[in-house]
Chains A and B, each alone.
Chain A
Amino acid sequence: MLKIQSISTYYDNLRVLSGVSLHVREGEAVALIGANGAGKTTLMKSITGLLPPRRGKLLFMDKNIAGTSANRIVRKGIALVPEGRKLFAALTVLDNLMLGAYHRFSADKSEIDDDLEKIYEMLPRLAERKKQYAGTLSGGEQQMVAIGRALMSKPKLLLLDEPSMGLAPTIVEEIYSVLRRLRAEGLTLLVVEQNVRQAFNLASRAYVLETGRIVVQGPVEDLKENSEVKRAYLGKGYKEVWE
């Protein structure tokens, strides 16, 4: 579904991604892990057109999308749940969700209502708080609004940039059970995470990004055995690390 071949992305003259290649197949959940500053968010921005790569190929459904503007990429079926939620704090939950469907204005209203119902069914807390201003919600609730807003665009591929950031472990578990459900329903996911354990629970394959380069990649089972991944990302608490 998504194929990235050797992309390099720059902030002015600073190269942040150096020849990154990655793919996500239809129906697959893929994790992208890495430390702060590795270039994970930049990669998300490159895919969504917010920061187009200077070199390399970006193929979505076999069509090149490099250089396509962000709003057109959303129409093609890629939605991003951005790092830090980025909600419209002064708008209600409902308005935030409806904004996710802004490009579907010509669609049948009942279709959009159906989608909204589905999201309320999956995230019942949002139904309870639909009239509340997004800024007054807790972090976990805000994250759910951000996911709901992305789903309102009816994406084929959902990108999530650190959905667990700053949330309590029980809330993280809740968010991830929603993501597992989306996966089971056939949605294709690419998740950027620092919470490697959760990401490995969700995804079947993963990539490790370090200073703008993919240094390890493969099935999650292999990565769990990889010494570099164990040391750097699974932490000292991981049962097999004794050093």
Chain B
Amino acid sequence: MTSVWKPEYELMDREELEQLQLERLQTIVHRCYRNVAFYKKKFDEMGLLPEDVNSLDDLRKLPFTVKDNLRDSYPYDMFAVPLREIVRIHSSSGTTGHPTVVGYTRNDLLHWSELCARMMTMVGVGRDDVIQIAFGYGLFTGAFGLHQGAELIGASVIPTSVGNTRRQILIMRDYKSTALVCTPSYAMTIVEAMEEQGVDPKTTDLRLGLFGSEPWTEKMREEIESKLYIKATDNYGLSEVIGPGVAGECPERCGHHIAEDHFLPEIIDPETGAQLPPGEEGELVITTLTKEGLPLIRYRTRDITRLHYEKCGCGRTLARIERIARRSDDMLIIRGVNVYPQQIEHVLLNIEGTKPHYMIYVTREGAKDRLEVWV
């Protein structure tokens, strides 16, 4: 297999896709109501029955799921299958309370691999590629998702995991890696280490970067591309939903195609919870359509973006989300002014001689907020 490309879904006519989404939505709602106590209770409280979902528009009647619901169900209470059907467990670090635990059935793992492979095929990964995966292997979903996807494509996978930058560079050069998978900030660390060691990035075989798991700016993309001489691509996912593979960029770079055959996206007003029309900025909410282990209804991602349904130049009919503008929950308000960390990064990158590593210190002196940026 040289590429994983599913035209029957990726090029699906909108009407057919909506039929498929409706069927899958109804199935998942029935299964959640029957198998997950949390949803049964929520539905009963709201006087809802699964058969009240008669169209995709009825989605707005359904309750939201938030990260705290997953924390409160620690560890397994939101699983929709018995534990013996689960073949993989991942989990968040739990720095802000109980960790969130996610479980995959055999089918979930197959779908996940395929989704990652589709996303990687979209940016041009093929079986001739040598893929260096410098994401941390472990409870984190990023490394395993792309690892499985790359194997499905038939590429050569080097699971270097994260850290030991000197060895990463050695492997990249000697093993002839053609694609690098890591966070954009770690790509910058590699760039700097190469500069220090006097390694010319041009001498490597690297041609592609698949970066994700943290928001980054176009400015940073330009910097990585010009310094590593690669095409840098962004992808989007979150472990609660499945991990990487939820959405990814195509060569047109006009947003991320969301795998709508598996995930039903909406944009809502984060304050009121009301659904917003396509093109408007708001919080991304995702309903999983095929997940067996941990199906989620209207999961609030806290990521702020826009949804676009116009056909893309690449031919795919799947809707696109814009690159994540910000989180609905890490905005700082300094003396009445909204400040996003990405804005600070943008300013720093425009100053000659600075690097995009910085810390923000927010203090309060009397009634005045004070924000310091340490570079």
Could you tell me which A residues sit within 8 Å of B by CB distance? 3, 5-6, 8, 18-19, 21-23, 55-56, 213-218, 222, 225-227
B280-298 CB contact bits vs A (8 Å, 1 = yes)? 0000000000101000000
Contact of A227 among B51, B53, B85 (CB under 8 A): B85
Contact of B51 among A8, A217, A225, A226 (CB under 8 A): A8
- State the CA gap A215–B19 with chains docked (Å): 16
- State the CA gap A217–B234 with chains docked (Å): 32
B133 shortest CB reach to chain A, Å? 27
Contacts of A18 in B (CB 8 A): 51
B30-72 CB contact bits vs A (8 Å, 1 = yes)? 1100100000000000000011011100000000000000000
Contact across chains for A217 and B24 when beta carbons are under 8 A apart: yes
Contact of B107 among A5, A6, A8, A222 (CB under 8 A): A222
A13 shortest CB reach to chain B, Å? 16
Contacts of A214 in B (CB 8 A): 23, 26-27, 30
Contact of B54 among A3, A6, A23, A222 (CB under 8 A): A6
A236 shortest CB reach to chain B, Å? 16
B115 shortest CB reach to chain A, Å? 14
Contact across chains for A226 and B55 when beta carbons are under 8 A apart: no
Contact across chains for B81 and A215 when beta carbons are under 8 A apart: no
**Overall SS of chain A's interface:** strand
- State the CA gap A8–B23 with chains docked (Å): 14
Could you tell me which B residues sit within 8 Å of A by CB distance? 16, 19-20, 22-24, 26-27, 30-31, 34, 50-51, 53-55, 81-82, 85, 105-107, 110, 290, 292
B196 shortest CB reach to chain A, Å? 50
A19-B26, A227-B81, A227-B105 are contacts. A218–B290 as well, Cβ < 8 Å?
A: yes
Output the nearest chain A residue to B34 by Cβ-Cβ distance: A215
Contact across chains for B81 and A21 when beta carbons are under 8 A apart: no
Contact across chains for A213 and B107 when beta carbons are under 8 A apart: no
Contacts of A8 in B (CB 8 A): 51
Contacts of A225 in B (CB 8 A): 105-107, 110
Contact across chains for B53 and A19 when beta carbons are under 8 A apart: yes
Contact across chains for B27 and A216 when beta carbons are under 8 A apart: yes
- State the CA gap A213–B51 with chains docked (Å): 8
B272 shortest CB reach to chain A, Å? 28
Task: For the complex of A and B, list the 7 residue pairs with the smallest distance between their C-beta atoms, beginning with the closest.
Answer: A6-B54, A18-B51, A19-B51, A21-B23, A227-B85, A225-B107, A23-B19
Contacts of A21 in B (CB 8 A): 19, 22-23, 26
- State the CA gap A56–B20 with chains docked (Å): 16
Output the nearest chain A residue to B85 by Cβ-Cβ distance: A227
B289 shortest CB reach to chain A, Å? 10
- State the CA gap A102–B290 with chains docked (Å): 44
B262 shortest CB reach to chain A, Å? 11
Output the nearest chain B residue to A8 by Cβ-Cβ distance: B51
- State the CA gap A173–B31 with chains docked (Å): 33
- State the CA gap A230–B192 with chains docked (Å): 54
Contact across chains for B55 and A5 when beta carbons are under 8 A apart: yes
Contacts of A222 in B (CB 8 A): 107, 110
- State the CA gap A20–B27 with chains docked (Å): 9
Contacts of B26 in A (CB 8 A): 6, 19, 21, 213-214
- State the CA gap A217–B23 with chains docked (Å): 8
Contact across chains for A3 and B81 when beta carbons are under 8 A apart: no
Contact of B22 among A6, A216, A218, A226 (CB under 8 A): A6
- State the CA gap A23–B17 with chains docked (Å): 11
- State the CA gap A165–B266 with chains docked (Å): 45
Q: Which of B50, B51, B82, B290 has the most CB of A within 10 A?
A: B51
- State the CA gap A227–B105 with chains docked (Å): 9
- State the CA gap A213–B22 with chains docked (Å): 13
Contacts of B34 in A (CB 8 A): 215
Q: A5-B55, A216-B31, A226-B107 are in contact. List 5 more A-B contacts (CB 8 A).
A: A6-B26, A21-B22, A217-B24, A222-B107, A225-B110
- State the CA gap A214–B23 with chains docked (Å): 8
- State the CA gap A5–B81 with chains docked (Å): 27
B96 shortest CB reach to chain A, Å? 33
Contacts of B106 in A (CB 8 A): 225
